[in-house]
Structure 1
């Protein structure tokens, strides 16, 4: 995954902690490279409870690493896909397997 600001790709890390930072922007997990971390306005989402930007997004939830607050992610993209009747992950995997393996639909 590239840095959301400059697009540079993360390289294999050397031993020790990674200098890259995770964050949440517009309810999506993003990575921030060391150079872009020096910027004062990273435009990251803030915790509704404590105001921290130390958030992680996983499995449809946004969790604050500072205070532990957890809430459901309100991703506009996800809502749009659900309303449009887009296939879920299991349907996408089944369709991909059919394409790759030449299988016929199971139903």
Structure 2
């Protein structure tokens, strides 16, 4: 899953805790890369808990749960799942196709 702000993708993790953060935006789980976390207002773009106002939310199995106070609510259905990443970054399928072409020494696909 890419960073919802810039479209950067995670590389293989190094031992220890990941520098990437999780959040919820428009009732969808998103990741925030370390570079975007350096922006002063990056949490302003995330959903907040209706009970305590925290941005420490997780989305799973159609529910959004606050990790701060434990409040759980039903997630709203999504109409178009690709709306969150608006950067010009290639999608996962394009990245996989390019990687396979490099590994298998083929010319460009398409």
Do both proteins adopt the same fold according to a TM-score greater than 0.5, normalized to the shorter chain? yes
Greater RCO (Cα-Cα under 8 Å, separation 6 or more): 2
2:95 match: none
- 1:14-93 to structure 2, matched below 5 A, reads 14-42=14-42, 43-77=45-79
1:8 match: 8
Structural RMSD (CA): 1.3
**1:41 positional shift:** 2.5
- Structure with max Cα Rg: 1
Structure 1: unaligned runs, 5 residues or longer = 79-107
Give secondary structure in 1 for the equivalent of 2:29: strand
Aligned residue pair count: 78
**1:2 positional shift:** 0.6
TM-score, length basis structure 2:
0.67
Structure 1 outlier segments of 4+, above 3 Å: none
